Structure 1
Amino acid sequence: MRVAVGESWLRRSDPERRAAATPRVMLAALLTGLLTAWLLYDGLGVNLLVCGVVVAVGAGTAARTAGRRIRPWTAVWSVAAVALLVVPAVWNAGWPAVLAAVGALGLASLALHGGRRWPGVLLALPGFLWQPVPAVGWVRVGLEVRSLPGRDRIVPVLKALAVAAVLLTVFGLLFASADAGMADLMGNLSPDLDLGRLPARAALFVLGTVTALGFAHIAAGPRRWDRTEIRPGRERRRLEWALPLVALNLMFGAFTVIQAVVVLGGADAVLSTTGMSRAAYARQGFWQLSVITVLTLAVVAVAKRWAPRTTGADRRLAKVLLGLLCVLALAVVAAALGRMWFYVDASGLTRLRLWVLVVEVWLGVVFLLLIASGLTGRTGWLPRVVVLSGVLTLAVYGLMGPDAIIANQNVTRYERALKTDLATATMDLRNVRTLSADAVPALDRLPEPQRSCAMQLINEDLRGKAKPWYATDLAAARARQVLKERPLLVQSPAEVRWLCDLTGPR
């Protein structure tokens, strides 16, 4: 019975029709595979944006063949995906680049699928993952039903070229191993290929081709995830539903009052009871408050599903209790952000701390959107706007250069400490040595030997073989220029152990 239900659920979202795979779509997919094998082997940079544009052209061709038109939200998701693909071209850090690439894939899938309701939006984001295999079958069917022009003449030529290539390779290797002169001639005539790279490039070719075909397959006939039905949960009695929410609101309210007392400066009794200073009290519990924020969203979703809705009084009570919980959750978000601010001011900024700060800010935006939805009584816009807010947060996080911000904050703290008390000022090199080339402009402001110690690992990474223009980024080019103009004092691991260990935090 469960299998039948699952099949019915999937069948309900089947596309109304799907256009056949055209030669242009297949050509765009092959071109994407070739570009991926050529450009992405050396790293991420402008190449990711180039490959993304070619994939978009193939998907657009398939959509046009299917008679689909660009809608406003399709344009929004497409522009946001392109903005995310700009991140690897500007900054060198790997983590934001990976997040941007994954986010761009999800947005491209959402742009092609469409979606208004929560099922349509949330299922469309990862919808690309199960498209590559059906896309290959889609192309095979297209080749079988379509008669290619000049097929009788092209296929024999391709077969002859393949046989000739095999024969020349086998006999050429034998002749080269038998005679030095022949080996020299063969070496001059054959292209310079590193056979060790062929497996990786072949894998990239397959990945690029299948990715392009997958998006074209969606564009030719997307699944209609909005047809997925999510029935509301069984209504609970007013008492068994409202009592837990009232108790939770009271606890949130008590926490909000305590935070207000602390912020206003009248927390002497509280602080004397805890035995902590004001700064230590403010830094305590950020991670717990972040977990509370996420759990509150889950509570709101579950409570709304099983809320009583038979009468107008039931609906008003649900709106009041859930709205109050969202408002009080904003106080939790503000408290968490305030505590992290003191934490960063005392201990410095790291990648993890910056990331959770950004996520916490986004969660606050989600609560504001929930409150606005409750006040207006309209929820049709909520799914897409929530996803859009998350996309904008991810794009801003990547484009602002996280490693550059982290380095700048830590260097600024150190400079401020030097002006305040030169004898006790220290620089936590462990916090900045593992940053990417994005951090070089800020770390360049450090005095020696801290400057050389902070950028030693970055210098080693950049001293390797220069990457081609399409696999590099603006931050790496800027860092190379800085290090060329002002070389480091530290060049060898022995110098690092002798010098840098003495300049770390005491």
Structure 2
Amino acid sequence: MPGAPVPPVGTWLRRSDPERRAAATPRVLLAALLTGLLAAWLLYDGLGPNLLLLGAATAVGAGIAARAAGRRIRPWAAVWSLLALALLAVPAWWDADWPAALAVVGALALASLALHGGRRWPGVLFPLPGILWQLVPSAVWVWESMDRRPMPGRGRIVPVLKALAVAAVLLTVFGLLFAGADAAMADLLGNLSPDLGLDQLPGRGALFVLGAVTVLGFAHMAAGPRRWDRTEIRPGRERRRLEWALPLVALNLMFGAFTVIQAVVVLGGADAVLSNTGMSRSEYARQGFWQLSVITVLTLVVVTFAKRWAPRTTPADRRVARVLLGLLCVLALAVVASALGRMWFYVDASGLTRLRLWVLVVEIWLGAVFLLLIAAGLARRTGWLPRVVVLGGMLAVAVYGLMGPDAIVAEQNVTRYERALRTDPLTAVIDLRNVRRLSADAVPALDRLPEPQRSCALQLIGQDLDGESGPWYATNLAAARAREILAERPPVDSTAPGRTACDRAGLAYDAW
């Protein structure tokens, strides 16, 4: 329209701002301070059930802010919250660091999504890293809210703070006295309370700040979340049918040719392909997997942009777009199946590693995404797709963490070695340089190995677990079980002049 004002750059961001945000209450501040103290107490010694306790405390702080804003929990928010708690249970169950870190990041993302409550793609994807840009604004929010507040509840809050300080002093004094009077009481109090020292103050202070600021960040979201669903994403410029369809037809033909070749390989032509390439079956499987994984991801990118620029003026245009994109997704499933088949064959030939297991899980999730895209193309309503895609990804992270990746890797390698011992003992081998780098989760499976392989596989794990176990809130079940096994049958020191028995038992190591 002539003379209409041009919207300024960034209007879509301002439109996502909340219409109002409830002020921070003293209860929110108190919840943040108490959670910070819990973080300083529980997190210093490691991860374990303490994450579940801190997650519950953080949920309480966010719930207080949400209630002050008049918000009520919705079904999808409950789903995201329960899945976040399931992710926080991973460090309490297993000892491996990588799944625990992935689970914590996923739990923070899901908590942010639960508080924002989006439905469309912007409303589901943009909130995931929301805690990162809430930390500083949340501190300003609390300061301004407290500065404007007349504080009529000061008479109730100050006595509570005084009572907490007196209780802390009394528990410290009498706890020290009881610990000196009875060894059993000293052991109990030692497990329940941290061993404080001046050298620990900086680390615990940082944990206090981290815990308090995290609660304030989620409370800031709950008091007034961004409405990312209001983000306007204008459709791309519509292309002519031939201009748009020709590249997709060519790509579909290439995918179809690959699918036919793979069908020939599966039906018995693999030996001919291997003889022509001059590669072994293991090399053929390994070389092709990464390329196929990249193709899978790039296909998702192509589908996204092709959907944006697809012709949509007439029903015939929309039908052509749906057919070509649907066919590309179906053929992409054949690529996913081929990648999974190659990796499965490679694992059967060379054993399982952490990386191989992770890429298997990611490839399965990508296949599920293509199935969801096909279902969305067949359905009339697709509003469910963004949340279900994120739900599938987070479920994959939760399953990957809760199933114990290191335990599965060790179990597969040990079972494969035992099977080889029964069939042909002279050729039975196990990649010790792979399994001995696993965490305590692998100890039950590695304990079944014969000597010297058993001691070689458990030496590094035993060194990591050497010493006293941590307090109950920082100890996982896998580490406790591994300590029991290693206490009953400690690894034998197999050091020998020149070369160790582990060197003699070790095998060629495949880096990935």
Same fold (TM over 0.5): yes
Cα deviation digits, residues 282-328 of structure 1 (max 9, x gap): 44400100000000000000100001111111100000000000000
Residue identity in the other structure for 1:296: T
Kindly indicate whether residue 354 of structure 2 is the aligned counterpart of residue 355 of structure 1. no
Corresponding residue for residue 313 of structure 1: 316
The DSSP-based 3-state class of the residue aligned with 1:20 is coil
Answering whether residue 505 of structure 2 is matched by residue 503 of structure 1, we say: yes
Distance in 2 (CA, whole Å) between partners of 1:383 and 1:281 is 36
CA distance in structure 1 between the aligned counterparts of 2:196 and 2:315, rounded to whole angstroms:
75
Flag the 1:345–1:192 CA change in 2: closer, same or farther, 3 A: closer
Task: Find the counterpart in structure 2 of residue 324 from structure 1.
Answer: 327
CA shift for structure 1 position 197: 1.0
* 1:277 shift after superposition: 5.1
Supply the AA of the counterpart residue of 1:86: A
TM-fit CA distance, 1:38: 0.6
Contact 1:39-1:470 at 8 Å conserved across structures = yes
Post-superposition Cα deviations, 1:98-122, rounded to whole Å, max 9, x if no partner, equal 0000000000000001101001111
Q: What does residue 421 of structure 1 align with?
A: 424
Counterpart-to-counterpart distance in 2, 1:262 and 1:111: 46
- Answering whether residue 208 of structure 2 is matched by residue 205 of structure 1, we say yes
Query: Does residue 1:123 correspond to 2:120, yes or no?
Result: no
- 2: CA distance between counterparts of 1:154 and 1:312? 66
Counterpart of 2:443 (choices 435, 440, 443) is 440
Contact 1:283 1:342 in 2 (8 A): no
Question: Does structure 2 conserve the Cα–Cα contact (< 8 Å) formed by 1:453 and 1:496?
Answer: no
1:500 maps to a residue whose letter is C
* Match among 20, 25, 32 for residue 22 of structure 1: 25
Report how far residue 281 of structure 1 moved: 3.7
Give aligned-pair identity as a percent. 79
Conserved? CA contact 1:75–1:111, under 8 Å: yes
Distance apart, 1:276 and its partner CA = 4.0
Report SS of the residue matched to 1:15.
Answer: coil
Picking from 2, 9, 13, the partner of 1:5 is: 9
Match of 1:460 in 2: 463
CA root-mean-square deviation: 2.4
Q: Quote the offset at 1:280 in angstroms.
A: 4.8
- 2:175 is matched with none
Distance 1:267 1:379, change over 3 A: same
Q: Partners of 1:200 and 1:460 in 2: how far apart?
A: 25
For 1:102, which of 98, 101, 105 is the aligned residue?
Answer: 105
Q: How many Å separate the matches in 1 of 2:296 and 2:310?
A: 21
Q: Which amino acid aligns with 2:506?
A: G
Residue 381 to residue 254, structure 1, CA distance change in 2 (3 Å): same
**Counterpart amino acid of residue 348 in structure 2:** D
Structure 1 residues 69 and 308: CA distance shift in structure 2, 3 A: same
Q: Pairwise mapping of residues 42-441 of structure 1 onto structure 2 (< 5 A)? A: 42-149=45-152, 151=154, 193-267=196-270, 269-276=272-279, 280-441=283-444
Aligned residue-pair number: 474
Deviations 1:33-60 (A, max 9, x none): 0010110011111011110100001101
Which whole-Å CA distance do the structure 1 matches of 2:155 and 2:267 have between them?
85
Deviations 1:117-151 (A, max 9, x none): 00111101111211111111111122112233575
- Separation (CA, whole Å) in 2 of partners of 1:426 and 1:350: 15
Unaligned runs of 5+ in 1: 163-190
Instruction: Report the Cα offset of residue 5 of structure 1.
Output: 1.2
Shift of 1:270: 3.5
Contact 1:252 1:328 in 2 (8 A): yes
Distance in structure 2 (CA, Å) of the matches to 1:352 and 1:2 = 51
What CA distance in whole angstroms lies between the structure 1 residues aligned with 2:414 and 2:326? 42
Alpha-carbon separation, structure 1, partners of 2:452 and 2:7: 67
Aligned to 1:476: 479
Q: 1:497 to 1:85 in 2, by over 3 A?
A: farther
Q: Per the alignment, do residues 487 and 495 of structure 1 end up closer, same or farther by CA in structure 2, a change over 3 Å counting?
A: farther
Structure 2 match to 1:35: 38
In the TM superposition, what is the alpha-carbon distance from 1:204 to its structure 2 partner? 0.6
